[in-house]
Amino acid sequence: METMIKELKEALRFVLSVEFWRMGVFWTVSLLASYLQLYINRLFSCKAQSYPRCHPPISPSLRPVCVVTGATSGLGAAAAHALSREGFYVVLVGRSSHSLSKAMTDIKTQNEDARVKAFQVDLSSFQSILEFKGSLQQWLLDCKMHSSVQLLINNAGILATSSRFTPEGYDQMLGTNYIGAFCLTKFLLPLLKRSPVPSRIVNVTSFTHRNVFDVQVDKESVSGTRFLRSEQYPFVRIYEYSKLYLLLFSYELHQQLGLTDKSCHVSVTAADPGVVKTNIMREVPSCLSHLAFEVLKLLGLLQSPENGVSSILDAALAPPEASGVYFFGGKGRTLNSSALSHNIKLAKELWTTSYNLFLEASLASKETSSFMSDNLS
């Protein structure tokens, strides 16, 4: 009884917060706006392009390698299952060793021919990502596989309702959802460029980015330290910012890869799965998240991970020429993301800030390694 009263009090406190109404109203409106855009495109035969899925090139000398973050549940697990059936050697990246083992078993149970490898990585920790890079390269070498990666899916994401720090002192939600994806991409880009066949980066974003009409991209904002001083943690806005940052990053990286190396065959796409019933809402009071899912189900907007993953698979398996595009709604369909996400000046400023954070973390990591080495010797 006490537990029930405590849960009801927590739910009531949540309902009375600005964050709840921002989620309930603004997120619903932005989701409906995305589907409306799909409908208008179809009704008036607009030029919004859709792409077919292509099977990955498989040969005796090359089995394509796909790295999926947040691969132990929800969309990440669904993507890993589907891509293993496409013939990829799937590298699962997750925080829990137990969940990784279970995910590997599930995939092999459904597909005996699946090739799967798991690495325990904390995407909010720069040091953990750095260690993963080394472990991945060593694994490729030990297995006598081509030292390259063909597909990277930055899917890991959290919705944290309370303020938490990463080992570097950043906001954990921004650290996991955006900074971790940026750092991992920077580390794996040489392996993607080394691929003998076209390779791709897929950043999983969200329709919630449409609710951001103005955003700062200075160090305090991108690292989230600015929000840690807030009286009430604005977790809904931070989640929206993280998804907008991913889009700005996707479009800027697309531009950079095209400009710096005309022969570069690394493409970058963004995927928005819509509303999917996953455990991302686990920190929201359970009675409210359950109610929200039921309402969305009645409206026909709620998808299972197996259905919701379609836009991620579209983005991953589209032809090599598909780059700098935003997939939404399945069936290979693309949409225009928000006007702010296409702000070139903002994207360049975000890149500079993110790269500086990357360099700072790299330097701190080297200093820590040097200190430990000196003390052990």
Indicate the angle between helix axes 74-85 and 310-317, nearest 10 degrees.
50
CATH class of 59-366: alpha beta
Domain boundaries, the chain: 59-366
Residue 45 and residue 49: Cα distance in Å, rounded? Answer: 10
- In this structure, is the dihedral angle defined by the CA atoms of residues 118, 122, 128 and 129, taken in order, positive or negative? positive
The confidence score (pLDDT) of residue 371 equals: 47
C-alpha to C-alpha distance for 315 and 202, rounded to whole angstroms: 7
Residue entry with tokens 């932005």: 30
Per-residue model confidence as pLDDT tens for the chain (377 residues): 667 777 787 778 888 888 989 998 999 999 999 999 998 888 876 666 889 999 998 887 789 999 999 999 999 999 999 999 999 999 999 999 999 999 999 999 999 999 999 999 999 999 999 999 999 999 999 999 999 999 999 999 999 999 999 999 999 999 999 999 999 999 999 999 999 999 999 999 999 999 999 999 999 999 999 987 778 899 999 999 999 999 999 999 999 998 666 666 899 999 999 999 998 888 888 888 888 899 889 989 999 999 999 999 999 999 999 999 999 999 999 999 999 999 999 999 999 999 999 999 998 877 655 544 555 54
Question: What does the pLDDT read at residue 230?
Answer: 78
Taking the C-alpha atoms of residue 283 and residue 238, their distance in angstroms, rounded to an integer, is 15
C-alpha distances in Å from residue 2, one per residue of 6, 221, 358: 6, 40, 47
pLDDT score of 17: 87
Tokens of 130: 């750095």
Print burial letters for 82-109: b (CB count within 10 Å at least 16), e (below 16).
Answer: bbbebbbbbbbbbbeeebbeebbebbee
Cα(269)–Cα(247) distance, integer angstroms? 9
- DSSP state, 303? E
- Please report the pLDDT score of residue 226 as a whole number: 93
- pLDDT in the model for residue 352: 98
pTM of the model: 0.94
* CA-CA-CA-CA torsion sign (267, 272, 278, 279): positive
Lookup: tokens for 111: 């597909």
Our measurement of the distance from residue 54's CA atom to the centroid of its chain's CA atoms, rounded to an integer in Å, reads 22
H or E stretch at 202: strand 199-204
State residue 375's pLDDT score: 53
Cβ atoms 319, 51 nearer than 8 A: yes
pLDDT of residue 62: 83
